[in-house]
Structure 1
Amino acid sequence: MKFEDFGAERAVRKVLPRGLLGRSLLIVLIPMVLLQAVALQIFYGNHLSELSRRLAGGVAGEVGLMVGEIDAAPSSRAAITQQADQHFQFATSFLPGEVLRQLPRPDVPGPVDKDLAHALTVQLHRPFNVAWNALPGTIVINVQMPNGVLDIHVPRKRLYIGTFYLFLIWVIGSAALLFGVAALFLRTQVRGIRRLAAAAEAFGTGRDEGPIRPEGAIEVRRAATAFNRMRERLRRFLVQRTTMLAGVSHDLRTPLTRLRLALAMQPQIPAQDLADMTGDIEEMERLIAVYLNFARGEGSEQPVPSDIAVLLDDVCTAARRAGAKVSLDALPGLTATLRPEAMRRALTNLIDNARRHATRIWVSARLIGPRELQILIDDDGPGIPAIKRETLLRPFESEDPAGTGLGLTIASDIVIAHGGAIRLLDRPGGGLRIAINLPV
C-alpha cells in the first residue's frame, strides 16, 4: 500500500464513527441519501425544469402580447390592460414619465427566475425588471415604455406548482422516518452487545453482578445465553476449588500441628535443635499459606469503593512495624473500586520484596488520567535486569534462592484481575520501580 493511500485511509477512519451504532446508521443513511438525491434530481432536474420553462414562457408570452398591442395602439392602452387583467389575472397600471430602475438580483430558489427572465427577454426586446419579493404572493414585472413604465402584477401561483413542495416534504419525511426506525432498532441491538461486554468485563474483574437478560437479535441472545452458562460453570468451579483448598489447608496443617505438639513434649531434645525444627514447621506453614493464597486467588471478596491513601497508609504502617523504612506520598481523596484485602495482600507482597533487597522504599499514588490512577513503589536496591523482569512475574521464578517465586506473581494476578497492569521499571537514580495502573 502506498503512503498516500495509507494517509487517506487514516483520514477516513478519523471521520467515520467508531461505535457499532454510528457505523450501522451510516450504512443505512448513505444509501438512503443517495437514493433520495437521485429521485430528487430526476424530478427536479427534468420534470420540474420543463414545467418551469413552460409556465414562465406562458406568462412572458401574455406580457409580450399585451405590450405588443399597446405599441400597436397606444391610445387604447387602458382598454388593452383591462382586457389583459381580465383574461390573464394581471393587475396592471401605467406610471407616466417614470424611468425603469435596476433591481438587485432576485433571491428565489430554483430555475423559475432565470426561465422567466429569459422568456421576457425573448418576448419584449426592451428593458424590464422583475421584483419577486415586493408584495406577498405577487411578482411585479416592470416594462419600460416610450413615455413611462408599465407596472404588471402577476400572481405568484401562476409560476409555481404545489406538488414540488409536497414531493420535497415526502422525500425528507420518509427519510427521517426510516432513519428514526433504523436508529431505534439498531440501538436495541447495540444495547444488548454493550450489556454483554459490560457483564464480561465486570465478571473478568471479579464483580459478579448476576446473569444478564438476553435481548436483541437472535445471535446476540445466543451470545448472552452462552455467557450466562459460562459464568455459572466458572462460578461453580471457583466454589468447588475454594472448598477443596480449604480441605487441603486443614489436612496439611493438622499433621504440622501434631508435629509441633510432639516436639513440645520432648524435653530431651536440645533447645537449639528444638528451635530449628520449630522454625522449619513455621516455614512449612508459611509456604502452605502462600501456595494456598496463590491457588485461591481473591476468593469471594467483592469490590467496594476504597480510599487508596488510607489503604497505602495501612500497608506502609505495617511495613514500618516489620522494620522497613517506607515513605508515603499519596493525595487524599483518591478512590477506586477494588477488593481491599486482595489489594492489601498484593501491596504487602511488593513492599516485602523491596524490603529484602533495599534499605529505603518510597510509595506514591497519583491520578494519570480521568479514569486511571498509578501507584509507584520505588526502592534503592540493586534493581532487576530488564531481560529478567517478565520472567519474574511468572510463578515460582525468583532471584532469591530462599524465596517461593510467588510474591510478584500473586501481586500481578491481583492487579490484572482488577483490570489494571503492573510493570517493573528502572527507578531514576538507581533501584527498582514498580508501577501499578488501576482503573478509577
Structure 2
Amino acid sequence: MGISISRSGGTGADGTEDAGRTADPSRDDRPRRRRLLRTPRSLKKLAPRGLMGRSLLIIITPLVITQVVAAIIFYDRHWDTMLRRLTGGLAGEIALVSDMLRRMPDEEARAQLLTNVHHRLHLAITLQEGAILPNRAKAEPWGQMENALVNALDERVRRPFIIDTESVEDRVEIRVQLADGVLRVLAPRKRLFSSTTYIFVLWMVGTSMLLMGIATVFMRNQVRSVRRLAATANSFGKGREVPRLKVEGAREVRQASLAFNQMRERITRQIEQRTEMLAGVSHDLRTPLTRMKLQLAMLDDEDEDVAALREDIAEMERMLNDYLAFARGEGTEGIAPTDLGALLFEVAARFRRQNHPVDLHLERDLVLPLKRNAMERCLQNLIGNAMRYGSHVAVRAGLRDGTIVILIDDDGPGIPEDKREAVFKAFVRLEGSRNPKTGGTGLGLTIARDIVRSHGGDITLDRSPLGGLRVRVELPV
C-alpha cells in the first residue's frame, strides 16, 4: 500500500494546532533539578581516563558540534531551498502540460505533446479520459519532500490531485483532475533530490575523519613524552638507575621533564652526601670505641659501673654497624633481577642454623629487580626482629595483583595499634610492649622501611593471626 496524499484545487495546506498541556503551578520540579545536577557527574564517569583520550575528546567535541550546526543550517536553509525549487519546477511542468492539453482538442497533437514531454522532461504522462479522482484518499503523515511537493502543486497547478510516493519504484505518481479526465504523471524520484546532499555528507565525514586522524597522530606524539616521563619517574621512585630524561614535546612537557631531571640530580646528590656522611662519621667513631673497649678490658670485670659501660659501648657499636650497613647498601649497590624466593630461603636457613625455626611458604617463583644485599639486610632485620620477640615465626610470600606481598608473623607480645607507625622512626624503642631484655638499637624497622621504599614498596604493621605482630612488605613487580 503506497502513501497517498490528496488535496483539493485552489486551497492551501490545512494546519492543525495541537493543544499544549497547561503547567501545574503546584507541581514540584525539585527532583528534576536534582537529576539535572547529577548529569555532569554521570558524564564524568563516561569520560576517558587517559590524557590522550581526554585531549581527543576536547578536540573532537567542538568538531562534532560544528558539523552538527553546519548540518542543521544546511538542511534548514540549503536543502529546504533546493527542495522548493525542484518541486516547484516539477509542479510548473505539470501545470504547463495540463494547460496545453486543455488548448489542444486534437488527439494526435496531444499524443505528440506527451511524447515530447517524455523525451525532453523525462515525465511519463498519460491522460485517462473520463476518469475522476476519488473524493477521499488515505492520508498518512507527510515527509519534507511530500510537503514541499504538495505546496508547489497547490500554488501552480491549482487543481485537485493525489500524490503516491511508494506504489511505483523510483517514481513519484501524481494524479491531477482535469475537466475531461485524470492526468497521470510518473516523475523520476531523483528529480526531487539534489546531489549536493550526498556531496555535503561525504565532505563532512571525510574532513572529520581526516582531522581526527591528524589530531590522533599529533596527540600520540605529545602523550608519548608524558608517558616516558611517568615511566622514568616510576622507575626512579623504585630506586632503579634511570638515564637523564630527554627534554622534548610541548613547552609544558619540556618544563616537567627539565624539573624532573633537576629533582633527580638533587635527590641523587643528597643521597650520596648523606651516605658519605654516615660512612665517614661511623668509620671515625669506630676508632675511639675500639680504644675504649681495650681500656675497659684491663679494668675489673666485677665492677658494676664497668659492666654497664661495656654494655653501652656494645650498643653504640651495634648502632654504628647498622649505619655502615645502611650506608653501603644505599650508596653503592646496583639493581639486578633477583629471585626473592631464593633470598628468603637463604635468610630462613641462616636462622635455622642458629636453632631458630622459621616456617617458610612460597606460593610461586618471585623474580624482580632488587638491590640484593640491601633487601637481604631488610629481610634479616624483619625476621630477626620477629625472632627476638616471639618463639614461632611464619613467613609467607606470593603475588597479589601485580605486587609481591611478604607476610612475617610472630607470636610475641605485638605492638599497640597507636604505636605501630612510631616504631619506624629512628631510635624509637617501645620497651613497654616488647621484651626489654632483647635489646635493639631502634634502627631495624627504620632501615627496613627505607630499603623497601627505595624499591617503590612499603611496610605496614598489623595484628598477626598468631597473636603477635604481622609485618606486611609490598614490592611492585
Please state which band the TM-score falls in when normalised by the shorter chain: 0.7 to 0.9
Q: Which residue of 2 aligns with 1:238?
A: 271
Unaligned runs of 5+ in 2: 1-32
Which of 78, 86, 108 is residue 55 of structure 1 equivalent to? Answer: 86
CA contact (8 A) 1:415 1:421 kept: yes
CA contact (8 A) 1:214 1:221 kept: yes
How far is 1:377 from its partner? 0.8
Higher relative contact order (CA 8 A, sep 6+): 2
Which of 187, 191, 201 is residue 220 of structure 2 equivalent to? Answer: 187
CA contact (8 A) 1:141 1:154 kept: no
CA shift in 2, pair 1:424/1:21, >3 Å: same
Which of 404, 408, 422 is residue 441 of structure 2 equivalent to? Answer: 404
Q: Which residue of 2 aligns with 1:208?
A: 241
How far is 1:260 from its partner? 6.3
Which of 118, 121, 128 is residue 85 of structure 1 equivalent to? Answer: 118
Number of residues of Structure 1 aligned to a counterpart in Structure 2: 428
Instruction: Report whether the alignment pairs 1:335 with 2:335.
Output: no
How far is 1:39 from its partner? 2.0
Q: Which residue of 2 aligns with 1:177?
A: 210
How far is 1:387 from its partner? 0.9
CA contact (8 A) 1:192 1:215 kept: yes
CA shift in 2, pair 1:291/1:126, >3 Å: same
How far is 1:52 from its partner? 0.8
Q: Which residue of 2 aligns with 1:433?
A: 470
Q: Distance in 2 between matches of 1:418 and 1:6?
A: 45
Q: Which residue of 1 aligns with 2:11?
A: none
> In structure 2, the residue corresponding to 1:298 is in which secondary structure?
helix
Q: Which residue of 1 aligns with 2:345?
A: 313
Q: Which residue of 2 aligns with 1:130?
A: 165
Q: TM-score, normalised by structure 1?
A: 0.81
Which of 395, 405, 420 is residue 457 of structure 2 equivalent to? Answer: 420
How far is 1:301 from its partner? 2.4
> In structure 2, the residue corresponding to 1:377 is in which secondary structure?
strand
Instruction: Report whether the alignment pairs 1:27 with 2:58.
Output: yes
Instruction: Report whether the alignment pairs 1:36 with 2:64.
Output: no
How far is 1:150 from its partner? 4.6
CA shift in 2, pair 1:112/1:384, >3 Å: same
Instruction: Report whether the alignment pairs 1:353 with 2:385.
Output: yes
Instruction: Report whether the alignment pairs 1:225 with 2:253.
Output: no
Instruction: Report whether the alignment pairs 1:154 with 2:188.
Output: yes
Instruction: Report whether the alignment pairs 1:366 with 2:398.
Output: yes
Q: Distance in 2 between matches of 1:224 and 1:91?
A: 75
Instruction: Report whether the alignment pairs 1:12 with 2:40.
Output: no
Which of 298, 302, 324 is residue 292 of structure 1 equivalent to? Answer: 324
Amino acid in structure 1 at the alignment position of 2:390: A
CA shift in 2, pair 1:130/1:11, >3 Å: closer
In terms of mean alpha carbon deviation, does 20-29 or 2-11 score higher? 2-11
Deviations 1:314-365 (A, max 9, x none): 2211222233221111112233332222222111111111111111111111
Amino acid in structure 1 at the alignment position of 2:160: H
Q: Which residue of 2 aligns with 1:377?
A: 408
Amino acid in structure 2 at the alignment position of 1:230: M
Q: Which residue of 2 aligns with 1:166?
A: 199
Alignment map for 1:225-304 (pairs within 5 Å): 225-256=258-289, 283-294=315-326, 298-304=330-336
How far is 1:412 from its partner? 1.3
How far is 1:69 from its partner? 5.7
CA shift in 2, pair 1:391/1:47, >3 Å: same
Q: TM-score, normalised by structure 2?
A: 0.75
CA shift in 2, pair 1:263/1:38, >3 Å: same
Amino acid in structure 2 at the alignment position of 1:130: T
Unaligned runs of 5+ in 1: none
> In structure 1, the residue corresponding to 2:471 is in which secondary structure?
strand
